[in-house]
Amino acid sequence: MPEPSIGENFDLLPLRPPQRDGTDQLKNRLIHRLMRRFFTRLFIEIYKKDKHLIDCFESLVLGPLLLLWKRPPMPPKTKISSTSERVKASSNWKKVQLSLPKHSAAVKAKILAKKTQKDLKAQDKLRSSSPGKASSSSLSQSSSSNVSCSKLQKLLLMNVKNVTSSKQTQVGKYVAIDCEMVGVGPKGSQSALARVSLVNFFGVVLLDSYVRPKEKVTDYRTWVSGIKPQHLKDARSFEEIASQVAEMIKDKVLIGHAISNDLNALLLKHPRSLIRDTSAYKPLQKIAKTRLPSLKKLTALLLKIDIQKGSHSSVDDARATMAIYRTQKNEWEAEIKKQITLRPKTEPKRTPVPANFEKAT
């Protein structure tokens, strides 16, 4: 009878006993470890003395042990074929595909835009037909606003040259602001104002200007700010821009996303009652399910528009901020009005001045 060979008749799997439950499993693990250590040392000793003795040891000792300790074979893994492999197109269908007209990227974009426009109109009709029922979708948050989602999409994608109405081109009561920064100081660790944009309630650009930083720019942050060295060559001075912005936003409702960063960059202050910060408004935080919602996320949830794909544009960000504010305008302004009416109108107490104060001094 030929002697068993490890490479031919036995699996080269590690020596493990069959799996059992309870204490038997622990005992088998311990025995398995001891056996592995023993045979490893034995192999080393045999190898030092004579390499040819290993073949005899495998056939005489390991062969019977593998029969006792051999693991049950694992079921073979079934390869899941893809749909293209499972179902192959017939020759007739391939001929039909060749005869079909291929649309260009521009045509595909137009078809997709028309489809989204139809979906938005259907959603607007559904909201108007059932105003009493609250929808669970994120777009339903703007149902109380006078402006539909499709109109706000046009506001973001508008062409400023087509605006002819004098009312739309005026500054108005509401102004949205956004700024872009560059890095100054060692390794661009500090931020400095490099571009500021203001838009009105209808998204018309009131101001869009590059600003020349006072310090040397060490990091233009082009990948996020979109600002390049040539943009700042003939840029206006910081003092000129700051004074113009201060004049334009005076007594206006100022809308921005994390607006404190923009005001700090301009070294300006604005009355708290006239500030609308879309990053700090609680209903918007609930929609985004985070305490620090990004402008990109809010625009995607409320308006179904993907912004900031590459470098940022302060004009686009200001328009997006205004559009988001307009979805919440009615509730937001009502809440502000309620807070003002409930605020106590008591003057601060003044300490009385003694009659002999002047004589004492």
End position of a domain, from candidates 69, 91, 112: 69
Does residue 355 form part of some domain? no
Counting every residue written for the chain, the total comes to: 361
CA distance 245 to 314: 15
CA distance 187 to 167: 46
Query: How many domains, in total, are found in the chain?
Result: 2
Which one of 44, 69, 94 terminates a domain?
69
Q: What is the CATH number of the domain that holds 232?
A: 3.30.420.10
Domain assignment present for 81: no
Domain membership of residue 357 (yes or no) is no
Are 56 and 181 within one domain? no
- Which pLDDT does position 357 carry in this prediction? 53
Asked if residue 306 belongs to a domain, the reply is yes
Q: In this structure, are 153 and 58 located in the same domain? A: no
87 found inside a domain: no
pLDDT at residue 67 in the model? 53
* Threshold 0.85, pTM exceeds: no
Q: Is residue 105 situated within a structural domain?
A: no
Asked if the structure places residue 90 within a domain, the reply is no
Q: Does residue 167 sit in the same domain as residue 298?
A: yes
- Same-domain check for residues 300 and 219: yes
pLDDT value of position 84 = 46
Is 78 inside any structural domain? Answer: no
Q: What is the 3-state secondary structure (H, E, C) of the chain?
A: CCCCCHHHHCCCCCCCCCCCCCHHHHHHHHHHHHHHHHHHHHHHHHHHHCCCHHHHHHHHHHHHHHHHHCCCCCCCCCCCCCHHHHCCCCHHHHHHHHHCCCCCHHHHHHHHHHHHHHHHHHHHHHHHHCCCCCCCCHHHHHCCCCCCHHHHHHHHCCCHHHCCCHHHHCCCCEEEEEEEEEEECHHHCEEEEEEEEEEECCCCEEEEEEEECCCCEEECCHHHHCCCHHHHCCCEEHHHHHHHHHHHCCCCEEEECCHHHHHHHHCCCCCHHHEEECCCCHHHHHHHCCCCCCHHHHHHHHHCCCCCCCCCCHHHHHHHHHHHHHHHHHHHHHHHHHHHHHCCCCCCCCCCCCCCHHHHC
Q: What Rg do the C-alpha atoms of the chain give, in angstroms? A: 37
- What contacts 310, CB < 8 A, 6 or more positions away? 223, 226
What's the domain range around 63? 6-69
Q: Are residues 64 and 148 in the same domain?
A: no
Residue 229: count of CB within 10 angstroms of its CB: 10
Residues 180 and 327 in one domain: yes
Residue in this structure with the two tokens 């200001």, named with its chain if needed: 318
Distance of CA 57 to the CA centre of its chain: 63
Query: Position of tokens 């025995």?
Result: 31
Residues 162 and 260 in one domain: yes
- Quick one: 302 and 163 in the same domain? yes
pLDDT of residue 83: 46
Domain boundary among 30, 54, 69: 69
Residue 27 tokens, joined = 């005992």
Q: Which residues contact 101 (CB under 8 A, 6 or more apart)?
A: none
Average pLDDT per block of 10 residues along the chain, 361 residues long: 46 49 71 79 69 59 56 53 54 69 59 59 50 34 41 57 66 93 88 93 91 91 88 92 94 94 94 94 92 90 82 86 92 90 64 56 47
Cα atoms found within 13 Å of the Cα of residue 56, Cβ hemisphere only: 6
Judge contact between 164 and 199, C-beta under 8 A: no
Report the C-alpha gap between 219 and 60 in whole angstroms: 74
Same domain, 331 and 194: yes
Same domain? 27 vs 147: no
* Whether residues 274 and 160 fall in one domain: yes
